[in-house]
Amino acid sequence: MPSERAISLSTKLEDLPGLAARSLPGLRELGLTNLGKLIAHLPIRHERLEAEAPVDELEAGHIVSARGEITATRVVLRKPQRFEAALMDDGRRLDLVWFNALYMRDRIKPGMRLRVQGKATKYGPGLQIANPKIEILKDEAEPLQSESRIRPVYSANERIKSAAIEQAISSVLDLALPLLKDHLPASLLAARELPPLPRAYELIHRPRNEGDAEEGRRRLAFDELLLLQLGVQMKRAHLRQQLRSPALALSREIDKRIRARFPFSLTPSQNHAITEIARDLSLSTPTNRLLQGDVGSGKTAVALYAMLMAVASGHQAALMAPTELLAEQHFATIRELLRDSKVDVRLVTGSQSDRAEALKEIAAGRAGIVIGTHALLEENVRFKSLALAIIDEQHRFGVHQRAALRAKSQIAGTTPHVIVMTATPIPRTLALTMFGDLDVTVIKGLPPGRAAVKTRSVPRSKRAEVYAFLRQRLDKGEQAFVVVPAIDSREQTDSAATVTGVRELVKELEAGTLASIPIAPLHGRMKHALRAETMDQFRAGTVRCLVATTIVEVGVDVPAATVMVIEHADHFGLAQLHQLRGRVGRGSNPGVCILIADEPTTESPEPSPRLELMVQTTDGFKLAEGDWQIRGSGGFFDARQSGLSSLRVADLHRDRELLELARRDAREWIERSPSLAAPDEALVLRRMMKTFGSELGLVAVG
Ligand code: ADP
Ligand code: MG
DSSP 118-181: EEEEEETTEEEEES-EEEE--STTPPP--S-EEEEE----SSS-HHHHHHHHHHHHHHHGGGPP
Q: Which residues have C-beta atoms less than 6 Å from ligand 1?
A: 264, 266-267, 270, 293, 295-301, 423, 447, 557, 559, 586
Q: Which of 88-92, 198-202, 639-643 has the lowest mean pLDDT?
A: 639-643
CA 659 to CA 229: how far, in whole Å? Answer: 9
Residue ranges of the chain assigned to CATH 2.40.50.140: 51-147
Per-residue confidence band for 218, with pLDDT thresholds at 50, 70 and 90: very high
Q: What is the DSSP letter of 593?
A: E
Q: Which of 2-6, 99-103, 524-528, 644-648 has the lowest mean pLDDT?
A: 2-6
- Higher pLDDT, residue 83 or 642: 83
Q: Pick left, alpha or beta for residue 314 (phi over 0 → left; psi -120 to 50 → alpha; otherwise beta).
A: left
Q: Separation of 393 CA from ligand 2 center, angstroms?
A: 7
- Higher pLDDT, residue 626 or 221: 221
| Element (DSSP H or E) covering residue 300 | helix 299-312
The pairing of strands 149-153 and 113-123 is unpaired
Asked if the model's pLDDT at residue 240 lies above 70, the reply is yes
Q: Whose CA is nearest to atom 18 of ligand 1?
A: 298
Q: State the architecture of 454-617 in CATH terms.
A: 3-Layer(aba) Sandwich (3.40)
User: Which of 398-402, 406-410, 498-502 has maximum average pLDDT?
Assistant: 498-502
Best residue among 295, 297, 335 to mutate for probing ligand 1's pocket (most ligand atoms within 8 Å of CB) is 297
Q: Which atom of ligand 1 is nearest to the CA of 299?
A: 2
Peptide bond into 605 cis (omega under 30): no
- Higher pLDDT, residue 417 or 429: 417
| pTM (predicted TM-score) | 0.71
CA 134 to CA 138: how far, in whole Å? Answer: 12
Q: Which fold has domain 1-45+155-179?
A: DNA polymerase; domain 1 (1.10.150)
CA 21 to CA 13: how far, in whole Å? Answer: 9
Q: Separation of 295 CA from ligand 1 center, angstroms?
A: 9
Look at residue 34 and give its three-state secondary structure.
Answer: strand
CA 37 to CA 10: how far, in whole Å? Answer: 8
- Higher pLDDT, residue 692 or 565: 565
The predicted model gives 456-476 an average pLDDT of 94
pLDDT at residue 489 in the model: 85
Per-residue confidence band for 3, with pLDDT thresholds at 50, 70 and 90: low
Residue ranges of the chain assigned to CATH 3.40.50.300: 252-282+298-422, 454-617
The predicted model gives 578-587 an average pLDDT of 87
The predicted model gives 421-435 an average pLDDT of 70
Asked if the model's pLDDT at residue 498 lies above 60, the reply is yes
The predicted model gives 605-619 an average pLDDT of 84
Per-residue confidence band for 434, with pLDDT thresholds at 50, 70 and 90: low
Sign of CA dihedral 179, 183, 187, 193: negative
The predicted model gives 567-585 an average pLDDT of 88
- Higher pLDDT, residue 36 or 648: 36
- Higher pLDDT, residue 556 or 61: 61
The predicted model gives 44-70 an average pLDDT of 93
What is the CA angle 360-366-369, rounded to 5? 100
Q: Which of 29-43, 297-311, 489-503, 611-625 has the lowest mean pLDDT?
A: 489-503
Asked if the model's pLDDT at residue 210 lies above 90, the reply is yes
Question: For residue 462, which phi and psi values (nearest 5 degrees)?
Answer: -100, 15
| Element (DSSP H or E) covering residue 596 | strand 591-597
pLDDT at residue 669 in the model: 96
pLDDT at residue 700 in the model: 46
pLDDT at residue 702 in the model: 36
CA 315 to CA 365: how far, in whole Å? Answer: 8
Residues 265-276: pLDDT tens digits? 999 999 999 999
- Higher pLDDT, residue 491 or 396: 491
Reported as half-sphere exposure (CB side, CA atoms, 13 A), residue 477 has a value of 2
Asked if the model's pLDDT at residue 374 lies above 50, the reply is yes
- Higher pLDDT, residue 443 or 146: 443
pLDDT at residue 147 in the model: 85
Q: Separation of 625 CA from ligand 1 center, angstroms?
A: 24
Residues 75-90: pLDDT tens digits? 999 888 899 999 999 8
What percent of the chain stands above pLDDT 90? Answer: 61
Look at residue 208 and give its three-state secondary structure.
Answer: coil
Question: For residue 511, which phi and psi values (nearest 5 degrees)?
Answer: -85, -15
Question: Considering the chain, what is the average pLDDT of its residues?
Answer: 88
Whether the CB-CB separation of 249 and 387 falls below 8 Å is answered with: no
Asked if the model's pLDDT at residue 510 lies above 50, the reply is yes
Q: Separation of 392 CA from ligand 2 center, angstroms?
A: 7
The predicted model gives 444-461 an average pLDDT of 86
DSSP calls for 217-250: HHHHHHHHHHHHHHHHHHHHHHHHHH-B-PPPP-
**10 exposed, middle or buried (CB, 10 Å; 0-12, 13-18, 19+)?**
exposed
Q: Separation of 296 CA from ligand 1 center, angstroms?
A: 6
Residue ranges of the chain assigned to CATH 1.10.150: 1-45+155-179
Q: Which atom of ligand 1 is nearest to the CA of 392?
A: 4
DSSP3 helix / strand / coil % (the chain, rounded to 5): 40, 20, 40
Look at residue 183 and give its three-state secondary structure.
Answer: coil
Q: Which atom of ligand 1 is nearest to the CA of 303?
A: 6
Asked if the model's pLDDT at residue 246 lies above 80, the reply is yes
Q: Which residues contact 192 (CB under 8 A, 6 or more apart)?
A: 222, 661, 665
Asked if the model's pLDDT at residue 701 lies above 50, the reply is no
pLDDT at residue 398 in the model: 64
Q: State the architecture of 252-282+298-422 in CATH terms.
A: 3-Layer(aba) Sandwich (3.40)
- Higher pLDDT, residue 702 or 75: 75
Q: Separation of 448 CA from ligand 2 center, angstroms?
A: 17
Does domain 51-147 correspond to CATH entry 2.120.10.30?
no
Q: Which residues contact 77 (CB under 8 A, 6 or more apart)?
A: none
What percent of the chain stands above pLDDT 70? Answer: 90
The predicted model gives 529-554 an average pLDDT of 90
Q: What is the DSSP letter of 445?
A: S
Q: Whose CA is nearest to atom 23 of ligand 1?
A: 266
Residues 312-344: pLDDT tens digits? 999 999 999 988 888 988 999 999 999 999 999
